[in-house]
Amino acid sequence: MEKKWYAIYTKPRWEKKVDTVLLKKSLESWCPLQKVEKQWSDRKKIIEEPLFKSYVFVHITEPERVQVLMTDGVINFVHHVGKPAVIREEEIQIIKKFLLEKDASITIQSLESLDENTRIVVNHGIFMNSEGTVIRGGNRKVFVKLESLGQIMTVEFPVEYVTPLT
């Protein structure tokens, strides 16, 4: 049987554990990690954290899907159009190659991190570098209040176009 790449949902913060358990079961698994500098009150430290929160990739045959689902920490396969989503080999290789580059860093923006009243900056399009406030999230889009020229303008942006201000 042909092996295909799938993405699986894991419990929050279980990505590395699930990856380890799947590998122990002799299933090909990959949890992409990137080095991130974290600041504690007394020190800075470089740690490896999952690139995709609550996701692990598996390269398996159809019959092996049951073994994956029976793994502690696995919630389900990521589905597209009612079937487990198959990820192309080329996409996996692109991510792997990028992560091998020195100082590689990918930022993944999810709608969950854009609560109402979050201050953001627009990083794409004609409103680039404008600051605003999230008024509500939508399906892959976020509605932002931009205050300029003494007027309030509400604009709908794809979530990838905005970055939270810290």
Which pLDDT tens digits describe the chain residue by residue (166 residues)?
899 999 999 999 999 999 999 999 999 999 999 887 888 889 888 888 888 888 999 999 999 999 999 999 999 998 888 889 898 898 888 888 877 776 666 555 555 556 777 888 877 766 677 788 887 776 566 666 766 555 566 667 677 777 788 6
Query: May I ask the CATH class of domain 111-164?
Result: mainly beta
Q: Would 4-100 and 111-164 be classified into the same CATH topology?
A: no
Environment class of 117 (CB within 10 Å of its CB; exposed 0-12, middle 13-18, buried 19+): exposed
CA distance 110 to 33: 17
Query: Any residues with CB less than 8 A from the CB of 111 and at least 6 apart, and which?
Result: 137, 140, 142, 159
CA distance 116 to 89: 37
Q: What are phi and psi for residue 160, nearest 5 degrees?
A: -70, -15
**Any idea which residue has 């970055």 for tokens?**
163
Q: Domain 4-100, what architecture?
A: 2-Layer Sandwich (3.30)
Torsion (CA) 96, 98, 102, 106 in degrees, nearest 10: -110
Provide the token pair at 16: 């590395």
The amino acid at residue 84 is: P
Sequence spans of domains, the chain: 4-100, 111-164
